[in-house]
Structure 1
Amino acid sequence: MSSYKGKLSIKIMLLLLLVTVVAACIVGAQTHSSAAPSVSNTLSAKPEEAADLNDVAQLTAFIDGIMNVHMDNFKIPGAVISIVKDGKSLFSKGYGYSNIKDGTLVDPETNLFRIASTTKLFTRTAVMQLVEQGKLDLDTDVNTYLKKATIPNTYSHPITMRHLMTHTAGFEEGGVGYQITTDMKKLPGSISETLAKHMPARVRPPGEMISYSNYGAALAGLIVEEVSGMAYNDYIQKYIFDPLDMKHATVQEPVPASLAPDAVLGYARKNGQFVTKPLTFEGGFRPAGSGSVSADDMAHFMIAHLQNGRYGEHQILKPETAKLMHSPSFQFDKRLPATDLGFFEENLNGLRAITHGGADELFNTEVSLVPDKQIGIFVSYSGGDGGAAARGLSQAFFDRYFPAQEAIPPQSAILESDLKKYAGSYQFTRRNHSDIDKFFNFLTKISISVAGNQLSIGSGAEQQLFTPIGPDLFQEVAGKHQMGFRTDAAGKVTYLFLDELNPMPLEPTPLIDQTMFWLPLLGISVIMFISVLTGFAYRRREIKQMSKGQKWALRLSATTSAWGLATIVATFLVVLNMDLIVRLSRITQSLQLYLVMPIILVGLTVSLLVLSVLAWKNKYWTVLKRVHYTLVALSAVTVSMFFYHWNLLGWHFG
């Protein structure tokens, strides 16, 4: 499974975990501008004292200390790191085990770690090779290059390669039942057939906003395949791995037999012990995340990009092409980190870094390059909370060797009343609209509130406060992160950008999508259903004395209430608790059967509405009881509308 984990701080991670039951750009776009000073312009001239990066013994002791603590605290069985500087490998080391049962230690030279979405860097490097050869144009309709799949003309402007490279094509997110597989019998899969079969809807105009897309990245890989006339795997091997002398690297699934003994096993914790878990495969989505590579080989790739395409005597990209790939191509706001043609920018203690991460259920990877300092870091983990470990290591490294200069906070006075327009619920642009996948975004929201003259995310010990430093721009109080907004001509917020979540912007959540809209309605409906069942149990003798029509009306009310409660419980305890790998790899029989429940509920609801009319027409019971009966019917309508809105009514699979 390929899924980019944005550089969340631990605070943001915990916030998302609290609100989530399940486990997660273009030149032609209009960029936000402002005359407000950026934070980088307010730094004082006196930096803190930096450690000597050329002291390898000191560097080794420093990295060892961090890795050992992280592996223990974050329950990580195996890890690897490589650091490059000035065109050479500065540090490379493995930690823990590649195979716990056999007691095999991690070897940075030969052991292959799965890098998930970091594979996209190989795919996009391949795209840029074809661009410089004149075989691809960044701003031409991708349908010009596609032979077996055609992107529909949903909007007046076509999707271009630049959109695919910057995640601004405007595709919705998808994946339930088809994104990955754990069954090798389903491999290899045709990229073209997979992408034609599982094409997501276009939900926003191309170039408008980032919406991270594995589909878009895989589509770029398909175009490499069809334009070059070579299979994707073969192209990457011949034009990237071979010239970079990457002997322990592959995008093939499963890894070739010659490399299989060096593949690191994936682990999960069970009853306090590490247990092996089946690897996930991307199949037809492999250009988005099928890579497996050693730390030493990844060092070659980092050196090539830091040296504008050159590694040794080989030039995989022309200098001007590499510089274009590393330059901003989409910016939410010129004061915030941009998206380049394949990389995401990040501010690391005032340094511009170009980065990419990758994660699946068993592996976490981060790559960070600082062109101005000719520094590159690759780190990968085989289990545990590798995402938090990677972020902690990266920040610790830059704090020690490139400490931030003392900042003088800029002043920007904004009244509390003026901050209220930023408050509210926000949802990620990376989400589904059309399929059952939509429901898995139900609880994934971020809420922003006003606290004095500051904005607040979270509460208690996990609260983050942001103070205004310019128009639509905020700085974290006692922190390093920034938050920006886009607003329309009327001043209404249209998008939210957190630099630690690049490339995962958010947008205001409409009332119909807010959990605080649906949860109270569901809660009231549950109370109504319980009242019916309770009343039915206590009024059995009274019901026996009623007419046949009244009896059937009450029986239907009790049946609908019981079925409604069962369906709600099944939705939250069964559907939302589905194992992520199972959810993304196949449509289970239990899910198929569950989806019958909302349909039956709709049938019962329609019947209940009919009998509600008859109850008033024939004057069943007292007026108060008829009102209660009608409210129960409306509760059933509410629950049915919930299932309809969240694509749980029917079989909506992508």
Structure 2
Amino acid sequence: MFKRIKYLTSVGFLIAFVLALSVNVASAKNIQDISLEAFFDNTMNSKLEKYHIPNATVSVVKDGKIVYKKGFGFADIENNIPVDADTTLFRIGSTSKLITWTAVMQLVEAGKLDLNTDINSYLDFEIPQQLEKTLKKNTTGPITMTHLMTHTPGFEDYPDMLFRLSEDGLMPLREYVKGHLPARIFPAGEVAAYSNYGTALAGYIVERLSGLPFSEYVEKNIFTPLYMNNSSFRQQPALYPPALIAKPYRFINGSYAQGSFEYILPEPAGSMSSTASDMAYFMIVHLSGGAYSGGRILKEETLNVMHKGHFTHDPALGGMALGFMEGVFNDKGVLFHSGSTMLYNTGLYLLPEVNTGIFISSSGGNHLLHSEVFQEFMDFYYPVKAQIMGTPSEGSQERAKKFTGEYQMNRRSITTDEKINSILGGGIINIDVDEDGYLLVTHGGETNKFVEIEPGVYQNLREGRTQDYFGPFHKIVFKTDPFGRTMLTTDGPMTYSKAPFYSTMGFTASAIVIIVLITISSLAYWIIIKISGLFKRRKNKSSGLPDVALWVGIGASTTILILFAGILSTGGIDPVYQLPTEAYIPVEGKPVLDFIPALMWIFICLLAPFTLIAWWKGFWGRVARVHYSIFTLAVLGLIWIIYYWNLFD
């Protein structure tokens, strides 16, 4: 009897636990503080331990109220100061753009700005309509504010113009937008390519139309009405105790290395610092019709315009609202924006359907921490029971084969030496197809399997979070870009165009390796010939021309090795910032390397005729002539690579 009672009691507790859990999950519309506390304590603490995250902060809002906020880790490890959700500021990177776009919509609401007017009307300089690489015509239509807010103005992107570690590297917004106008590489409104410059331009228009510096306008018209007293776009903002900016760290070799304060060049695109509490107020405004605690910053109808979709490459995809990215997570529509500096990472997610918002920020360099936590939040409170399934239909393998290849980000530069980042900066998606007809998509270091759901449209069979930074990456749709290349489109403000074979990572890396091997072996061979010649005495010496040709080869090969040695010596990745130092400490010229292009042209102008003369006059033996010809072709190939990738611009 006692055993039976004990058994029934245990079963009862188990049933009660399961029912409580199911009620908690099923009643997602009634999120309780205690369940949030347990969920985030468990999730965040495990993530901080797993990824060695030194500090983080979280806030959750629902139905116009802050239902959860908390800091994790230490804002200052050395002084043992913990993170506080109310007073610890984090650099939120590109999540700052949401405030910039909100300021833009205030001017739209005031009648000072039209979303579909040529932005040249609001500027004191002109953005030309000339395309850098002509299509069927040399010019394109004007850029509008809608294009800027949906990341479709068609600008190229300069990654080296984002971060600085010294205030000396900053410049006024007016000077930045005028002095760093990027080339237009796509017709406006046709290709999604994320643009920091576009946001900087919008911030400058806010300055001009309001008559206030951008940071001052935002403080007066957004931060003050919303009581966001610990938020600022000013770099190194003046803070009042106990407010404190969380120090950024990266875990290296068993300990936390502290990074310097990161200055962001285009202020409206990413320089904001804020707390979890302040960002909670901002989320409430966007979920509650534009007002919070008696302060209104936008009308509800204005927010409705801002939150609806304004651009997508295909109805199957989440696209862009005005500033917000669109995505579907666990069958819920989500408006979101992430943001990263070199050391801080942030995500802001709004679920209008259930009137809920989540803000997560941290330092430590894990760019996908916030998306992992958000996905786990969705899986816990809004689980999706249906499993994603599908099998390739007849002929899918043949249809998929035309999409195989390397796809490179359209967020790229084509006119500067930053062009090489399209294959070095992780902006590559590789597409393959297996024998069953599944599309194998390698992106962000992982390979996912996609199945065709209609011609040119593929569904990811993986559930939950993926490695994509700009959306769920659950569907991809193949289109054609304005240059006639196959274009991979997905959720959010990012597209990828299929690279011709000569600009792929594989071809470029292989060509460089081959050129280096040819150079090293040639130099060694010619040096051996010269050394051995010192020990040979010949009464009848041949013409001096073959000897000159060898010396030209030795000079060219030595120059090439100096070139690669110079590149390797300046291209190291800093362990804290995970970027080459040139990305945040500009180098004014490369004295050792600046003379290389001219010298390479001199050598090729000598090597080419010497190669022809060697065959005409019969210098050396046949094998030696073939070798000299191969070396000449290698030098020509290197010159082509240098100029194709703008490496000495």
TM-score after normalising by structure 1: 0.86
Q: CA deviation at 1:228?
A: 1.0
Flag the 1:133–1:404 CA change in 2: closer, same or farther, 3 A. same
- Contact 2:87 2:242 survives alignment (8 Å): no
Measure, in 1, the Cα distance between the counterparts of 2:380 and 2:480: 41
Confirm whether residue 531 of structure 1 aligns to residue 521 of structure 2. Answer: yes
* CA displacement, residues 322-360 of structure 1 (integer Å, 9 cap, x when unaligned): 011111010111111121100001111000000001101
Confirm whether residue 144 of structure 1 aligns to residue 121 of structure 2. Answer: yes
Measure, in 1, the Cα distance between the counterparts of 2:481 and 2:198: 31
Counterpart of 1:50, as a letter, is A
Q: Counterpart in 2 of 1:181?
A: 164
SS in 1 for 2:520: helix
- Contact 1:474 1:484 survives alignment (8 Å): yes
Query: Equivalent residues in 2 for 1:364-513 (5 A)?
Result: 364-385=345-366, 387-407=367-387, 409=389, 413-415=393-395, 416-443=397-424, 444=426, 445-451=428-434, 452-458=436-442, 462-480=446-464, 481-488=473-480, 494-499=486-491, 502-513=492-503
Measure, in 1, the Cα distance between the counterparts of 2:581 and 2:485: 37
Q: Counterpart in 2 of 1:241?
A: 223
Q: Percent identity?
A: 33
Q: CA deviation at 1:541?
A: 5.4
Which residues of structure 1 form unaligned runs of 5+? 1-45
Counterpart of 2:200, as a letter, is A
Counterpart of 2:117, as a letter, is T
Measure, in 2, the Cα distance between the counterparts of 1:276 and 1:351: 38
Measure, in 1, the Cα distance between the counterparts of 2:246 and 2:25: 39
Measure, in 1, the Cα distance between the counterparts of 2:154 and 2:241: 37
SS in 2 for 1:456: strand
Q: Counterpart in 1 of 2:72?
A: 95
Q: Counterpart in 2 of 1:171?
A: 155
Counterpart of 2:35, as a letter, is Q
Confirm whether residue 132 of structure 1 aligns to residue 114 of structure 2. Answer: no
* CA displacement, residues 132-182 of structure 1 (integer Å, 9 cap, x when unaligned): 1111011111110012x3211213301110011011000001143x43321
Measure, in 1, the Cα distance between the counterparts of 2:217 and 2:117: 22
Measure, in 2, the Cα distance between the counterparts of 1:395 and 1:55: 19
* CA displacement, residues 501-523 of structure 1 (integer Å, 9 cap, x when unaligned): x3222111122311232233333
Query: Equivalent residues in 2 for 1:289-300 (5 A)?
Result: 289-300=270-281
Query: Equivalent residues in 2 for 1:12-161 (5 A)?
Result: 49-50=25-26, 53-147=30-124, 149-154=125-130, 155-161=139-145
One of 506, 514, 523 as aligned partner of 1:516: 506
SS in 2 for 1:593: coil
Which residues of structure 2 form unaligned runs of 5+? 1-21, 131-138, 465-472, 535-540
Flag the 1:442–1:186 CA change in 2: closer, same or farther, 3 A. closer
Query: Equivalent residues in 2 for 1:277-296 (5 A)?
Result: 277-283=259-265, 285-296=266-277
- Contact 2:566 2:593 survives alignment (8 Å): yes
- Contact 1:184 1:254 survives alignment (8 Å): no
Q: Counterpart in 1 of 2:257?
A: 275
Measure, in 1, the Cα distance between the counterparts of 2:505 and 2:324: 34
Between 1:350-359 and 1:376-385, the stretch displaced more is 376-385
Counterpart of 1:315, as a letter, is R
* CA displacement, residues 554-610 of structure 1 (integer Å, 9 cap, x when unaligned): 121122123223323543563364763732334325745334334423322222223
- Contact 2:140 2:188 survives alignment (8 Å): no
Confirm whether residue 253 of structure 1 aligns to residue 225 of structure 2. Answer: no
- Contact 1:575 1:591 survives alignment (8 Å): no
* CA displacement, residues 617-637 of structure 1 (integer Å, 9 cap, x when unaligned): 433222332222122111101
Counterpart of 2:329, as a letter, is L
Measure, in 1, the Cα distance between the counterparts of 2:242 and 2:418: 34
Measure, in 1, the Cα distance between the counterparts of 2:48 and 2:392: 42
One of 185, 188, 191 as aligned partner of 1:209: 191
Q: Counterpart in 2 of 1:587?
A: 586
- Contact 2:419 2:646 survives alignment (8 Å): yes
One of 243, 254, 265 as aligned partner of 2:247: 265
Q: Counterpart in 1 of 2:550?
A: 554
Q: Counterpart in 2 of 1:36?
A: none
Counterpart of 1:153, as a letter, is Q
Between 1:123-132 and 1:575-584, the stretch displaced more is 575-584
**Number of paired residues?**
598
Measure, in 2, the Cα distance between the counterparts of 1:74 and 1:614: 62
Flag the 1:572–1:357 CA change in 2: closer, same or farther, 3 A. same
One of 294, 298, 312 as aligned partner of 1:313: 294
Counterpart of 2:509, as a letter, is L
Measure, in 1, the Cα distance between the counterparts of 2:91 and 2:377: 23
Counterpart of 2:88, as a letter, is N
Q: Counterpart in 1 of 2:639?
A: 640
- Contact 1:485 1:494 survives alignment (8 Å): no
Measure, in 2, the Cα distance between the counterparts of 1:609 and 1:291: 56
Flag the 1:232–1:587 CA change in 2: closer, same or farther, 3 A. same
Q: Counterpart in 1 of 2:470?
A: none
SS in 2 for 1:417: helix
Q: CA deviation at 1:497?
A: 2.3
Measure, in 1, the Cα distance between the counterparts of 2:619 and 2:548: 12
Q: CA deviation at 1:101?
A: 1.0
Flag the 1:546–1:375 CA change in 2: closer, same or farther, 3 A. farther
Q: CA deviation at 1:489?
A: 11
Q: Counterpart in 2 of 1:571?
A: 567
Flag the 1:590–1:100 CA change in 2: closer, same or farther, 3 A. farther
Flag the 1:465–1:281 CA change in 2: closer, same or farther, 3 A. same
Flag the 1:633–1:412 CA change in 2: closer, same or farther, 3 A. closer
* CA displacement, residues 430-471 of structure 1 (integer Å, 9 cap, x when unaligned): 011000111222344221001121100249x94311011123
RMSD between aligned alpha carbons?
A: 2.6
Q: Counterpart in 2 of 1:13?
A: none
Measure, in 2, the Cα distance between the counterparts of 1:168 and 1:433: 17
TM-score after normalising by structure 2: 0.87
SS in 2 for 1:338: coil
SS in 2 for 1:369: strand
SS in 2 for 1:341: coil
Measure, in 2, the Cα distance between the counterparts of 1:411 and 1:336: 21
Q: CA deviation at 1:394?
A: 0.3
Measure, in 1, the Cα distance between the counterparts of 2:323 and 2:345: 18
- Contact 1:173 1:432 survives alignment (8 Å): yes
- Contact 2:390 2:451 survives alignment (8 Å): no
Counterpart of 1:179, as a letter, is L
Q: Counterpart in 1 of 2:210?
A: 228
Measure, in 2, the Cα distance between the counterparts of 1:300 and 1:151: 36
* CA displacement, residues 471-512 of structure 1 (integer Å, 9 cap, x when unaligned): 32211224354232233599x86311244xx32221111223
Counterpart of 1:426, as a letter, is Y
Measure, in 2, the Cα distance between the counterparts of 1:320 and 1:439: 44
Flag the 1:258–1:591 CA change in 2: closer, same or farther, 3 A. farther
Q: CA deviation at 1:111?
A: 1.0
- Contact 2:481 2:487 survives alignment (8 Å): no
